[in-house]
Amino acid sequence: MKAMDTVRARGHPLVRASHPTTFEVTRDETLTLAGDCIIGVAADKGAADLAPGLKAMLSDDRAVLTTRLTAGGETVLVRSRGSAGLTLDHPRDLVWRRSSFVSDRTVAVHSDHTAAALPREFVEALRRGAELLIELEAGIPEED
């Protein structure tokens, strides 16, 4: 069984993508230099707006999330995990974390990419204001 959703956002000239442990997409329209984890602004969804089936799946410790980030002809695949601690009820933000820390903004934990680890060509496309497509697909692996 799988669950999916799509979020649309855009880049911004101040995208730094230098945070070593997270990356974030926000519904906020603007960005300051302090937002070093933010890779997309003006998102059409926050964590609270994700599809109910996806939210239910992500709230399981066994869930595996594949996130496809596409901007300016560049695509990055991010693999993460769900967590029983996820509430997914933040109205504005979506955060992927390398650690196991959860908050109302957390979409996934144990991500294999952070803002700082994103390919620089991808980050440059975001700095040029490219549209950012975020495709989320979660599933629970079958036990052997």
Q: Which residues pair with 80 in a beta bridge?
A: 65
Residue range 110-129: average pLDDT? Answer: 98
Is residue 91 assigned to a domain?
A: yes
Could you tell me if residue 46 is inside a domain?
yes
Q: How confident is the model at residue 144 (pLDDT cuts 50, 70, 90)?
A: low
Domain count within the chain: 1
Residue 110 lies in a domain: yes
Looking up residue 32, the CATH number of its domain turns out to be 2.60.120.630
Residue at 144 is within a domain: no
Residue 20 located in a structural domain? yes
Mean pLDDT of 58-76: 97
The pTM (predicted TM-score) of the whole model is 0.96
**Beta carbons within 10 angstroms of residue 32's beta carbon:** 11
Q: For residue 84, is it within any domain?
A: yes
Distance CA 90, CA 143 (A): 32
Selected residue with higher pLDDT from 27 and 142: 27
Range of the structural domain that residue 110 is part of: 2-139
Residues in the chain, total: 144
* Residue whose token pair is 């903004």: 105
Q: Encode pLDDT of 18-63 as tens digits.
A: 999 999 999 999 999 899 999 999 999 999 999 999 999 999 999 9
What is residue 1's predicted lDDT score, i.e. its pLDDT?
Answer: 85
Examine residue 87 and state whether it is found in any structural domain, yes or no: yes
How large is the C-alpha radius of gyration of the chain?
Answer: 14
28/99 Cα distance (integer angstroms): 24
- Tell me the mean pLDDT in the region 68-81: 97
Percent of the chain beyond pLDDT 90?
96
Structural domain contains residue 31: yes
